[in-house]
């Protein structure tokens, strides 16, 4: 995909092409850390816009699935990506994949702005701080390593292979922000079953994450 200069006008048709163009990087966790390094060190817009083009539609869908109104989802998605631009230097590929980092940014924005839990973000920062002072980076595999890519593929496969009930509860938790109680009420499933199903699903997915295997 071409880097787009700030002055470029993008017609709706071209925009469609942007969305549908097979992204060479799609799903390739290994190159994102190079793009992020370019953003952090030289404020490289082309790199940023490649990240933007790949992730902003995904972040937008995520926020919409959480029930954000269209305009609100748009604004929060933009803010999430702008934060990536502003704080690129605090991204550490040794600690997390870019998709995970962005997921956390978007989730935190949702909890802060939509759910209005004003202390959540501070608490997550605190946990990160404790983590940084207490232990070596927990991801034993740098995001840019072949091992990390293998993990990524394995995780994808595990998600796709989840039994329907487990997949549904994972989806309701991550994409609809439903509590255990809400899932239980909505599906008419005992609370204990909701928890044991989520537990089984997570343990299965964890097997795909190298360091836990």
Partner 1 sequence: MKPQHHLDPATLVSYAAGSLPEALAVVAATHLGICPHCRAQLRDAENVGGQLLEQQIPDQAEASRLARMRLTMLDRLDDPALAAPSPVPSREATTTTVDPDRLPEPLHPYFGSSYRALRWRWVAPGVRFLRAAGTRGATLIMLKIAPGKSMPVHSHGGSEITQILQGAYDDALGHFGTGDIADLDSETEHQPVTSPGVPCICVAALDAPLHFPGWLARTMQPLVGL
Site for partner 1 in 45-64 (CB under 8 A): 45, 48-49, 52-53, 55-62
Placement of tokens 């998709």 in the chain: 99
Question: Per rule CB under 8 A, is residue 149 in the interface with partner 1?
Answer: no
CB of 205 to partner 1, least distance (A): 5
Q: What are phi and psi of 135, to 5 degrees?
A: -145, 160
CA triple 80-148-61, angle to 5 deg: 30
Question: Per rule CB under 8 A, is residue 1 in the interface with partner 1?
Answer: no
Q: Under a CB-based contact definition with an 8 Å cutoff, are residues 60 and 73 in contact?
A: yes
Which of positions 162-201 make contact with partner 1 (CB under 8 A)? Answer: 170-171, 173-181, 190-192, 194-196, 198-199, 201
Which of positions 78-117 make contact with partner 1 (CB under 8 A)? Answer: 78, 81-82, 85-90, 95-104, 106-108, 110-111, 115, 117
Cβ atoms < 10 Å from Cβ of 81 = 21
CB of 102 to partner 1, least distance (A): 7
CB of 80 to partner 1, least distance (A): 10
CB of 164 to partner 1, least distance (A): 16
Which residue from 194, 156, 16 is spatially nearest to 148, judged by alpha carbons? 156
Stated as kind and residue range, the H or E segment containing 116 is: none
CB of 47 to partner 1, least distance (A): 12
Q: Under a CB-based contact definition with an 8 Å cutoff, are residues 11 and 23 in contact?
A: no
Question: Per rule CB under 8 A, is residue 209 in the interface with partner 1?
Answer: yes
C-alpha to C-alpha distance for 201 and 51, rounded to whole angstroms = 30
């Amino acid at each position: 995909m071409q880097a787009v200069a700030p002055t470029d006008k993008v017609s709706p048709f071209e925009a469609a092409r942007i969305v549908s163009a097979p992204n060479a990087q799609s799903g390739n966790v290994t190159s994102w850390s190079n793009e992020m390094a370019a953003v952090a060190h030289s404020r490289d817009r082309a790199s940023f816009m490649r990240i933007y083009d790949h992730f902003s539609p995904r972040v937008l869908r995520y926020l919409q699935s959480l029930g954000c109104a269209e305009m609100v989802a748009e604004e929060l998605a933009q803010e999430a990506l702008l934060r990536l631009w502003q704080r690129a230097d605090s991204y550490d590929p040794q600690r997390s994949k870019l998709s995970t980092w962005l997921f956390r940014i978007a989730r935190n924005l949702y909890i802060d702005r939509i759910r209005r839990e004003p202390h959540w973000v501070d608490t997550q920062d605190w946990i990160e701080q404790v983590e940084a002072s207490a232990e070596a980076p927990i991801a034993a595999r740098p995001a840019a390593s072949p091992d990390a890519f293998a993990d990524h593929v394995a995780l994808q496969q595990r998600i796709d292979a989840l039994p329907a009930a487990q997949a549904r509860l994972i989806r309701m938790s991550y994409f609809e922000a439903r509590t255990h109680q809400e899932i239980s009420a909505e599906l008419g499933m005992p609370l204990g079953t909701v928890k044991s199903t989520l537990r089984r699903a997570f343990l299965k997915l964890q097997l795909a994450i190298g360091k836990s295997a």
